[in-house]
Structure 1
Amino acid sequence: MDQPPHPTHSATTHLPYGTPDSPRLAVRGEARLEVDPEIARLRISVTARGTDRRTTLDDLTTRNQHTLELLKSYGPAIEKLATGGFTLTPQLTPKGRNERIRAYHGTVHTTAVIADFTILGELTTRLADQDLTSIDGPWWALRAGSPAHRQVRQKAVKEAVRRAREYAEALDARLVALIELADHQADTPTTGFSRPGGARMRGATAGGAAPDTPPALDLEPQRQTVYAHVNARFTMTRPEL
């Protein structure tokens, strides 16, 4: 039985490494932008402690309601509010024959997204001035649909084309066509949700809060670094070597 002929590469076969008449050129385009943050996040934890479960729960509910009312009083400056968790935990006496519940500890965690930084310093100190309230933040960030992401991606593509042209010109050739454009880890902020100095504030214990509102903190927004890179493959004319 006749064996089928071995396949041969014709002139039109696309080889992964190109051909002498149509070489392939692979480059990487990178871009990095530093932009002002668009939002800030605060994590507020409201706590209540007591020897009676129902009283502790009522205290926690009241404090959490006051916190939410304070946040909502700033209107559109608060872009989003979300409850991150609730716990009510009994605390036991040391293990032994007479082990019993000696207290209850309750906590509600709330995350606030602030779009207007002009109220951030005042809001932070007012929250921290509440009884048994702790604050983490601010974490500065960009929105998921920020124009900065689009800008950095386009800049990375233009950088890939510019670099490819420079390589082709060094060989007295020119680019002919784009074969592939691969996007890797585009628009990933290298700083993430950053916060200056690891700011953490805790309110006074019950009965220890000052009657007057404390002066607002001076919070300086931290610029965000947005990064993108692409891998691009082109064909070019035959080099003049």
Structure 2
Amino acid sequence: MPDDDQNSSRSSGTPDAPRLAVRGEAHLEAEPELARIGITTQARGTDRRTTLDDLTRRNTTVLDLIKGYGEAVEKLETGAFSLTPEFTKHGRGERVRTYHGRVHITAELSDFTALGELTTRLADLDLTRVDGPWWSLRPTSPVHARARRQAVHDAVQRAREYAEALGTTLAALVDLTDTGADAPAWMSHEGSRGLFRAARAADGADDPVPVLDLEPQRQQVQAAVNAGFTLHPPTL
């Protein structure tokens, strides 16, 4: 038989081997395993070198503070750096009025108690902004595997119920397709803006900052499969 005929027979079934196609789904909730925060450190001044020196010093302070939490920090990355001149709006020629420097850092933590303390300590630094947290499961989390297994079990159960309604049983599995329905890796209550945003101006107060109590957001994990089965011929 030609290949096209074989594919057509496999997809539509035959009277001797009727085909049944079903979808299996799973929806789970789980506590997050990681939290990500974004830290933006800034500096400004009328002198380019002084502004750069201030930015370098503040960036080092931020990095040292984060690294001080040891194993609670699983990843630390510098994402962007900029030093931008701002020109005067009036007068002849191009004259720089001030320089704006900025460094963006991303940190991922697995210790959420340390997360609350670190977040407020970072937000209390001069000209420092904190965004987040964004919550996530690890890509290797067993929750993903559990969701996929439940999706397959759901597909088999549905197929058996349809077969029972026809007075027959399943004969064989023909195909199984993962539709890729896993939830996004990082989630927050307010989309990309995150849950927490804070910044302290250079003239901010020196009073101690209370530790922010952050409640981890439960993660929605989904999985789905399309499955095809053949049935023993029912008596209709």
Q: TM-score, normalised by structure 2?
A: 0.92
Does 1:198 find its partner at 2:198?
Answer: no
Task: Work out whether residues 180 and 232 of structure 1, in 8 Å CA contact, stay in contact via their aligned partners in 2.
Answer: yes
Post-superposition Cα deviations, 1:126-149, rounded to whole Å, max 9, x if no partner, equal 000000000000111111111111
Aligned to 1:108: 103
* Cα 1:181/1:124, change in 2 over 3 Å: same
CA distance, structure 1, for counterparts of residue 33 and residue 53 of structure 2: 37
**What is the distance in 1 between the residues matched to 2:69 and 2:11?**
59
Stretch of structure 1 that moved more, 90-99 or 149-158: 90-99
Identity %: 60
Equivalent residue runs for 1:1-241 within 5 Å: 14-94=9-89, 96-189=91-184, 192-195=186-189, 198-203=195-200, 205-210=201-206, 212-241=207-236
TM-score, length of structure 1 as denominator length: 0.90
What residue identity is the alignment partner of 1:176? Answer: A
1:3 maps to what in 2? Answer: none
Find the aligned partners of 1:209 and 1:55 in 2 and give their Cα distance: 24
Secondary structure (helix, strand or coil) at the match of 2:149 reads: helix
| Off by >4 Å, runs of 4+ in structure 1 | none
Task: Give secondary structure in 1 for the equivalent of 2:64.
Answer: helix
CA contact (8 A) 1:174 1:236 kept: yes
Q: 2:134–2:195: 8 Å Cα contact kept in structure 1?
A: no
**Whose radius of gyration is greater, 1 or 2?**
1
Query: Structure 1, unaligned stretches of length 5 or more?
Result: 1-6
For these two proteins, the number of residue pairs brought into alignment is 231
Q: Which has the higher helix share?
A: 2
